[in-house]
């Protein structure tokens, strides 16, 4: 191929196809199998479009969508770390930074820098857009657990207080979504999907 820039772009697109093979602890809502990272990222992008009106601060939806589409690409190398796996979090940041260096730099420098900046912004959770993207990333597995009768909660012995503690950031970013999370968590307790 004569066009070096296009070759790098295609190489990157080929590489990120591997995200479809990174399976999460969360089941699809129909319970048939585990969700992969590509499906998770797509679902977050749709949530950003549909639920942006609930962000406490105004957000740029297209920017949020870009962030959620790139946020888990690093898991191609770093693997998925279950949200309640304390041991897995010990070196998560190091693994993911190393993966970001390798994967994003497959692209031409300008695009590598842009995608790295989106990923860094998501990880730092300082801007309204990044905070909202993070809130959606926290909320989506809760919804999946609710509709799969607490599958990954029960499988890993997760308690409701852990869910509330790990996801309380949502209360600051999108209070109405936090209320929804509390409502379905309380219903999950009542139905026996999760222990208090």
Task: Give residue-wise pLDDT tens across range 108-138.
Answer: 999 999 999 999 999 999 999 999 999 999 9
Task: Give residue-wise pLDDT tens across range 154-171.
Answer: 999 999 999 999 999 999
Task: Give residue-wise pLDDT tens across range 27-42.
Answer: 999 999 999 999 999 9
Collect contacts of 170-174 with beta carbons under 8 A, ≥24 apart.
170/135, 170/138, 170/139, 172/56, 172/131, 173/55, 173/56, 173/57, 173/128, 173/131, 173/132, 173/134, 173/135, 174/51, 174/54, 174/55, 174/56, 174/132, 174/135
pLDDT score at 86? 72
Overall average pLDDT of the 92-113 stretch: 95
Whether residue 103 contacts residue 112, with contact meaning beta carbons closer than 8 Å, is answered with no
Of 75-84, 96-105, 177-186, least confident by mean pLDDT is 75-84
pLDDT score at 1? 62
Structure tokens at 85: 């796996």
Task: Give residue-wise pLDDT tens across range 51-93.
Answer: 999 999 999 999 999 999 999 999 999 888 776 767 766 788 8
Indicate whether 141 pLDDT > 80.
yes
Indicate whether 14 pLDDT > 70.
yes
Residue 36: its H or E element: strand 34-36
């Amino acid at each position: 191929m004569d066009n070096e820039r296009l070759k790098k772009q295609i190489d990157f697109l080929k590489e990120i196809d591997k995200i479809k093979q990174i399976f999460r602890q969360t089941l699809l809502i129909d319970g048939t199998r585990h969700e992969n990272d590509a499906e998770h990222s797509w679902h977050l992008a749709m949530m950003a479009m549909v639920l942006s009106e609930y962000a406490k601060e105004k957000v740029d939806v297209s920017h949020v969508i870009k962030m959620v589409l790139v946020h888990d690409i690093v898991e191609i190398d770093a693997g998925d770390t279950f949200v309640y796996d304390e041991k897995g979090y010990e070196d998560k940041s190091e693994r993911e930074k190393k993966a970001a260096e390798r994967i994003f730099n497959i692209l031409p420098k300008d695009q590598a820098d842009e995608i790295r900046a989106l990923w860094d912004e998501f990880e730092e959770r300082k801007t309204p857009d990044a905070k909202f993207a993070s809130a959606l990333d926290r909320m989506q597995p809760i919804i999946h657990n609710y509709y799969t009768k607490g599958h990954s909660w029960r499988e890993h012995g997760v308690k409701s207080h852990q869910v509330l503690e790990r996801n309380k950031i949502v209360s600051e970013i999108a209070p109405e979504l936090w209320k929804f999370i509390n409502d379905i968590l309380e219903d999950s307790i009542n139905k026996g999907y999760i222990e208090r």
